[in-house]
Amino acid sequence: DIQVTQSPSSLSASVGDRVIITCRASPSITTYLNWYQQKPGKAPKLLIYATYRLQSGVPSRFSGSGSGTDFTLTITSLQPEDFATYYCQQSYNTPYTFGQGTKLESK
Residue ranges that bind other proteins, judged by CB under 8 A: 32, 34, 36, 42-46, 49-50, 53, 55, 87, 89, 91-92, 94-101
Least separation in angstroms between CB 91 and other proteins: 4
Instruction: Count the Cβ atoms, other than its own, within 10 Å of residue 34.
Output: 22
Least separation in angstroms between CB 13 and other proteins: 21
Burial of 88: CB neighbours in 10 Å, binned 0-12, 13-18, 19+: buried
Least separation in angstroms between CB 69 and other proteins: 18
16 or 95: CB nearest other proteins: 95
Distances (CA, A) of 9 to 28, 68, 102: 22, 22, 4
For the chain, give me the number of helices (H) and strands (E)? Answer: 0, 10
32 or 71: CB nearest other proteins: 32
